[in-house]
């Protein structure tokens, strides 16, 4: 009898797990509303399934439905208060709601800090929680407990776990604190240690923010030689166009980007045409500038900067 019972039950269990696998697949493909509907239906029959509750919270979070996400993650924390990632997600959802509604932010600060810290305490290797605490203490005003020293404390904990993350975190702290020389030092250390695209991106953005576009282009070229990513051609062209420097190099890189473009590059071709229009405008080449801005508008007619750029070109 028991064997018959399990044989009858097995298809139900298999279907249940299959449903949750489908939810994860939908989330991975950014089909958040479909994922929400599927996992909500699953929870009607399995209201205490923690994996499903977490997935529903994730589906809400991706859609920025912060109140709904908070409610789901709160259930997880209350059910299993020793699970680090539940505390991390709960704090993260509250933190995002606080960012969107600064009038209510004060009421969330204590809980956000408490649950991020709890996640870090429960899991000594939880990198994401420590990153969140680095940013939390830097962005929080001092009157509410913000502290550069605490940010650096968690940055050091990150460095103990992962040198690259630690260097990037310290670079972030010093950049936020308007100490670009120290930020540059740690971003360069991160590049030397790991050399990921993220490391190069952080240093590039620092140079752009410090109005040093020549250095930005130089580091992007180094990144391109190492990683051979077409997307970096666009980034070089973007800096050239925005700062009116190395226009020939910028034009060549944008043409390479267009020639080799694929969806994986991230930036639509329209934006490359927009940058080429900027470059040709800098060169007082109205005909080519107008050609590229028309191509940009044809592909993405709803983008306001494209229309504004066309007005500038036509008035040349």
- List the one residue out of 24, 29, 61, 30 whose CA is nearest residue 42: 24
Asked whether residue 15 is domain-assigned, the answer is: no
Tell whether 133 is covered by a domain.
Answer: no
- Whether 208 and 235 share a structural domain: no
pLDDT at 10: 39
Cα 255 to its chain centre, rounded Å, is 27
Same-domain pairing of 115 and 157: no
Domain contains 25: no
In a domain, 20, yes or no: no
* Same domain? 180 vs 146: yes
Mean pLDDT of 10-19: 51
Residue 58 has pLDDT above 60, yes or no: yes
Question: Distance (Å, rounded) from C-alpha 53 to C-alpha 63?
Answer: 16
The tokens describing 125, both together, are: 């290797």
pLDDT digits (tens, 9 = 90+) for 204-220: 999 999 999 999 999 99
Domain of residue 283, residue span: 229-316
154 & 221 share domain: yes
Q: Report d(CA 107, CA 239) in Å as an integer.
A: 41
Helix (H, G, I), strand (E, B) or coil at 179: coil
Is residue 2 in some structural domain? no
Q: What is the CATH number of the domain that holds 113?
A: 1.25.40.10
Q: Are 87 and 73 in contact (CB under 8 A)?
A: no
pLDDT, one tens digit per residue, over 34-55 is 999 989 988 988 899 999 999 9
Arithmetic mean of pLDDT over the chain: 91
* Residue 113 clears pLDDT 50, i.e. is over it: yes
Q: Which of 180, 188, 181, 183 is CA-nearest to residue 170?
A: 183
Locate all alpha helices (DSSP H) within 46-196, ordered by sequence: 50-62, 66-79, 84-100, 102-122, 127-139, 148-161, 163-176, 180-193
Does residue 240 sit in the same domain as residue 221? Answer: no
Q: Name the pLDDT band for 170 (thresholds 50, 70, 90).
A: very high
pTM of the model: 0.83
Q: Quick one: pLDDT at residue 17?
A: 63
| pLDDT at residue 4 greater than cutoff 50 | no
Show the tokens assigned to 155. 């940055």
Out of 228, 261, 279, a domain closes at 228
Q: What is the pLDDT of residues 283-315, one digit of tens each?
A: 999 999 999 999 999 999 999 999 999 999 999
Residue 294 domain-assigned?
Answer: yes
Q: Is residue 7 part of a domain?
A: no
Can you give the pLDDT at residue 117? 95
3-state helix, strand, coil in the chain (%, to 5): 85, 0, 15
CB 53: neighbour CB atoms within 10 A?
22
Residue 138 CB neighbour total at 10 angstroms: 22
How many domains does the chain fold into?
3
Pair 92, 42 in one domain: yes
* Tokens encoding 29: 């493909």
Average pLDDT over residues 256-284: 96
Q: What is the rounded average pLDDT of the residues 51-65?
A: 93
Of the residues 228, 249, 275, the one at which a domain ends: 228
Mean pLDDT within 78-95: 95
Q: Which residues contact 120 (CB under 8 A, 6 or more apart)?
A: 84, 126, 129, 130, 133, 154, 157
Instruction: From 200, 228, 256, give the residue that closes a domain.
Output: 228
Is position 129 within any domain?
A: no
Tell me, yes or no, whether 233 and 316 share the same domain: yes
The tokens for 223 are 């990144």
User: How many Å apart are CA 147 and CA 193, to the nearest integer?
Assistant: 27
């Amino acid at each position: 009898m028991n064997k018959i019972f399990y044989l009858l039950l097995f298809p139900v269990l298999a279907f249940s797990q299959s449903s949750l696998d489908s939810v994860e697949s939908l989330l991975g493909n950014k089909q958040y509303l479909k994922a929400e509907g599927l996992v909500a239906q699953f929870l009607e029959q399995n209201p205490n399934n923690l994996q499903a509750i977490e997935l529903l919270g994730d589906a809400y979070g991706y859609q920025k439905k912060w109140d709904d996400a908070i409610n789901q993650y709160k259930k997880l924390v209350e059910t299993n208060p020793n699970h680090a990632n539940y505390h991390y997600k709960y704090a993260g959802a509250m933190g995002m709601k606080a960012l969107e509604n600064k009038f209510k932010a004060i009421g969330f600060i204590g809980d956000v800090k408490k649950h991020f810290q709890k996640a870090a305490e429960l899991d000594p290797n939880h990198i994401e929680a420590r990153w969140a605490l680095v940013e939390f203490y830097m962005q929080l005003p001092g009157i509410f407990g913000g502290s550069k020293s605490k940010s650096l404390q968690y940055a050091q904990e990150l460095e103990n776990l992962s040198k690259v993350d630690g260097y990037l975190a310290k670079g972030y702290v010093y950049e936020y604190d308007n100490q670009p020389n120290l930020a540059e030092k740690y971003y360069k250390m991160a590049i030397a240690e790991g050399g990921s695209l993220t490391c190069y991106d952080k240093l590039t953005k620092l140079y752009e923010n410090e109005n040093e576009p020549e250095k930005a282009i130089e580091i992007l070229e180094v990144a391109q030689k190492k990683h051979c990513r077409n997307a970096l051609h666009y980034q070089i062209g973007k800096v050239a166009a925005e700062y009116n420097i190395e226009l020939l190099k910028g034009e060549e890189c944008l043409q390479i980007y267009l020639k080799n473009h694929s969806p994986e590059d991230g930036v639509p071709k329209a934006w490359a045409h927009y940058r080429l229009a900027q470059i040709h405008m800098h060169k007082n080449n109205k005909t080519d500038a107008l050609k590229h801005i028309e191509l940009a508008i044809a592909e993405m007619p709803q983008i306001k900067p494209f229309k504004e750029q066309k007005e500038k070109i036509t008035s040349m």
